[in-house]
Amino acid sequence: MIHSDRTAGLMAPLAGGLIAFSMPPWGWWPFAFVGIAILDMLLANQPRKERFKRATVVGIWWLFPATFWMWDMTIPGYLIQGVVFSMLYGAVAMLVPPTQGRRVALPAALVLAALVRWNWPFGGVPLASLAISQSDAPLAQTARVFGSLTIVALVGVGGVALSALAERNMRDTTIAVGVLVAAVFLTIVAPHGQAIDTIDIAIVQGGGPQNTRAANTSSREVFVRHLEASQGVQGPVDFVLWPENVVHTRGPLVDTPVYDELVEMAQDLDAPIIAGIIETFGDEGFFLNASMTINPDGTNSGRYDKLRRVPFGEFVPFRGLIERVAPDFLPTNDAKPGTGPAIIETGVGTAAISISWEVFHDDRTYDGMSNGGLIQLNPTNGSSFWLTIVQTQQIASSQLRAIESGRWVLQAAPTGFSAIIKPDGTIVDRTGISEARVLQGEVELREGNTWATRFTWYPMFVVAVVGFVVAWGFARRDSVASTA
């Protein structure tokens, strides 16, 4: 228990910093448990206002370092999300009873905060999450139980176990460890799908400089780099995956000479190319971000238009206000969101697809699985970001999506990272930053639901609600007993 303001003023930043550095690209995942343990101690026996303040400070030191990539894209967006989401953790901490039941309620509060943060505001900013921190850790496998929120809850449970152990409270420690053991057992028995076929695939990364923007980059050069890199594909392959938005056209792609070049390349490879495209409609004031399957016979047999857009990157909330602060950092037009299911036809079966930002949102994977996805694709573009915070956290999210769905995940990026990921989250192969390279391999088409894709986030929401009810039941019973 941490009572003094001076001690709390030191320990709250420490807790937040530990959680931040448990995330990729640093990846010191055990730090997340220690950070949550300190948070639990900070909340003990504190009034509501103090719980809010302490948890908010933890959130600030967690989120601002772990989402620092946003500074380069939009300073206002970076500041807004950091403050809003830090206060969200402060708000849910107010729901945690300060005495009895605290260690039941804290994991539930973390789940509730994650569920809100992943979806609101502006569609959510689900980066730097406790789930992402565990993508290479043993708890990652629990994502197939009830999704990534399962990991969030279990990091909370592990944290309160450490807190209880530090206080030599063996009852709470034993209960928490028992929950973790039960979760591991569920992971073993939970379904994870089965292979129905194997295919040969290629992922093309054209390479080029990092930290570049569309406004000062030749879209033609990016396209040509991918045409040239595709010549390194060693056939035969069943399909070739290109990254997000490496093909730019004014108006529909099929009406441009660029489409003919893609058809010619598909003919040379004797395989469909699934290309990431941007179609700009200047007169209408919007653009489309999509992936399209272009076949060697000149037809296109599949298309998916991105539904979840990047706030401040693909659409600008409160544009009139924000443009006054950072006009050079913003898209001139907003992306028009798609409306169809998160799938695309590959020529050898249906693939679930999440374009870039969407891979951080588990609902796109759930949608793809419910519509017959046999493999998952993640065409993305992280070339505009400096450092590797976004890129490494995206790989981590692709690992979680693989585990949740029991599917192989193929990630393609123009300047890195591109990767082939197995259903258990293992990275089979990965490119480096800025290199031109082709990844090839034999992967499985798989079918069957996991519990995560069957039930989605609802079970963990129910668990969180029940956790709060039980926790406050303990708190009231303790209050009655102390006044008797």
Quote the DSSP letter at residue 353: E
Q: What is d(CA 97, CA 108) in angstroms, rounded to the nearest whole number? A: 12
Same structural domain for residues 116 and 242?
Answer: no
Residues of the domain holding 106 = 5-191+456-483
**Cα separation values, 77 from 318, 320, 328, 342, Å:** 11, 14, 14, 27
Q: Say if residue 327's pLDDT is above 60.
A: no
Same structural domain for residues 172 and 316?
Answer: no
Same structural domain for residues 432 and 327?
Answer: yes
Same structural domain for residues 185 and 296?
Answer: no
Same structural domain for residues 211 and 140?
Answer: no
Q: What is d(CA 219, CA 436) in angstroms, rounded to the nearest whole number? A: 16
Q: Say if residue 197's pLDDT is above 90.
A: yes
pLDDT band at 374 (very low <50, low <70, confident <90, very high): very high
Quote the DSSP letter at residue 311: B
Same structural domain for residues 123 and 37?
Answer: yes
pLDDT band at 123 (very low <50, low <70, confident <90, very high): confident
CA quadruple 71, 72, 75, 77: dihedral positive or negative? negative
Contacts of 363 (CB under 8 A, 6+ apart): 456, 457
pTM: 0.94
Mean pLDDT of the 302-326 span: 81
Same structural domain for residues 85 and 25?
Answer: yes
CA quadruple 140, 145, 150, 154: dihedral positive or negative? negative
Same structural domain for residues 468 and 384?
Answer: no
Same structural domain for residues 426 and 467?
Answer: no
Q: What is d(CA 39, CA 56) in angstroms, rounded to the nearest whole number? A: 10
pLDDT tens digits, one per residue of 415-464: 989 999 999 999 999 999 999 999 999 999 999 999 999 999 999 999 99
The kind and range of the H/E element at 446 are: strand 437-447
Please, what is the average pLDDT of the chain? 92
pLDDT for res 382: 82
Q: What is d(CA 208, CA 230) in angstroms, rounded to the nearest whole number? A: 15
pLDDT band at 60 (very low <50, low <70, confident <90, very high): very high
Same structural domain for residues 140 and 123?
Answer: yes
Q: What CATH number does residue 286 fall under?
A: 3.60.110.10
C-alpha torsion angle, residues 91, 74, 364, 61 (rounded to 10): -40
Please state the domain count of the chain.
2
Same structural domain for residues 54 and 156?
Answer: yes
